Structure 1
């Protein structure tokens, strides 16, 4: 009973003292250093299990975009060094982990059809990291389980699972959709500030939508629908275009080619 009472005292304090890059209030229960360690561990496990594409063209292309966007990124999570790996996987996917770890599947190159569209993808993943979305996800799962002693309940082998645990309808699913929408907007700003055409973020999602396939109803999904994402991006486009014009005036025009 005392433990539950203490939990209700702590959560409001954390909720009002933590904010994301967009100003959204957050529940953050884990120290950045601990989350970064978890991300590094999980990424190491993924690299050991998943084929890596070491071709110079793919890695030069991806890192060109990453370098341009990191140059305009403000990170307060204590990332020691960013790492981006191209994984040899035909699924059009990318992901991010705390600690500045980003994975891009080779299958994404056929959907993100130019440097600007891939910049939208990578900016989105950087957004997840700097907005502490992994920390929020773990914190939410810990609260849902009635415990904030995360490092006592999570062993090293379960780190990757903890960052992507199953969610409960009505509580964690909407929260995850909020993460995705926020990362879209952060990525839109980063790509524009670094000289990539922000309008291509919408075209990226048109390409994703054209893939078809069975997609769950948005209310039962951890991600917003493609239509919702395009609507939100278009709503923020005027500001993004202004940032892009400013970046071009400053000479920012990344020459990234596959």
Structure 2
């Protein structure tokens, strides 16, 4: 009886499915016969005229272009080096983005963070705090050393510093480490994160409009062209600016700017294969060395103006402040 009941219910279910399918087919036929012949997709007239031949498209494009130009020009700012750039996000939004990234990084590396007050942690913290004091940047600064062979360091918006232990042998001394940390802190000093977030917001909107009103494939092609012609050059420009500002910061913090050249020479010797500068987010190491060499006289003047004592007295002074 149970088996028979299941079969009956199955037959009823099949019949209901067929009825529903038939109703859907009738509805579809009715729609095609009565409405489809009068329906026109956006971007075509009678399935023959492209969207860019429509007058309304050019009205829309013109209004959008004018509004975009006005918005862009009213959000131009000068960087610390005098470079004009577009920034359309607030410092609060920038810090929120930094907090989100900070939570992700701490979740990924929480078991590899070097404990505080160890020798390595005190060493990195001492150098970082001297650079921070020189920059006069406010924020909830935190310094973390990650036990990893990676040769890397970065600073998140809001003041979260991460240094991978694999970088320390390459820096060799405090001046070398100061070169790296001053460069990373200079990114925050110049608000390069806000610059990149602003560009990503505008270009994301542009890609969406192109995908909707023109062609998704055109949006993909435009993304590739934008990366090559705008994103990568802008990234290299920001890196060069961070080199210049960082050299000034390490000089004001009473580190030796000339040591930056030696650090980048060691970096160059440790490189295996680097992509062409045109396809890279960073300038070539050789061009960085040449730029830094041209900026050293100005950085030396900053160091002299800071009335920096000799190295032993400087380290003793910061040790008394607890930056050990």
Q: Same fold (TM over 0.5)?
A: yes
Aligned pairs (5 A) from 1:180-219: 180-219=239-278
Q: Distance in 2 between matches of 1:13 and 1:69?
A: 33
2:121 pairs with 1:59: yes
**TM-score normalised by structure 1 residue count:** 0.85
**TM-score normalised by structure 2 residue count:** 0.68
Partner of 1:129: 188
Q: Distance in 1 between matches of 2:126 and 2:191?
A: 24
Which residue of the other structure, out of 71, 91, 112, is the alignment partner of 1:32? 91
Contact 1:194 1:253 in 2 (8 A): no
Q: Distance in 2 between matches of 1:4 and 1:85?
A: 45
Q: Distance in 2 between matches of 1:92 and 1:249?
A: 30
Contact 1:64 1:254 in 2 (8 A): no
Rg larger for: 2
Return the offset for 1:81.
1.2
Count the aligned residue pairs.
236
Return the offset for 1:232.
0.7
Q: Distance in 1 between matches of 2:148 and 2:65?
A: 44
The 1:231/1:68 distance shift into structure 2, 3 A limit, reads same
Return the offset for 1:92.
0.9
Partner SS for 1:111: helix
CA deviation vs aligned residue, 1:122-160 (integer Å, no higher than 9, x gap): 00111001111011111112222236xxxxxxxxxxxxx
Which residue of the other structure, out of 247, 250, 253, is the alignment partner of 2:314? 253
Q: CA RMSD in A?
A: 2.3
Partner SS for 1:95: strand
The 1:253/1:247 distance shift into structure 2, 3 A limit, reads farther
Q: Distance in 2 between matches of 1:25 and 1:137?
A: 14
CA deviation vs aligned residue, 1:27-83 (integer Å, no higher than 9, x gap): 1111110111110121121011012122611111111111111112133xxx53112
Partner of 2:34: none
2:88 pairs with 1:5: no
**Relative contact order higher in (CA < 8 Å, ≥ 6 apart):** 1
Partner SS for 1:240: helix
Q: Distance in 2 between matches of 1:104 and 1:217?
A: 27
Return the offset for 1:212.
2.4
Q: Distance in 1 between matches of 2:65 and 2:120?
A: 50
Partner SS for 2:75: helix
Partner SS for 2:144: strand
Contact 2:308 2:314 in 1 (8 A): no
2:136 pairs with 1:74: yes
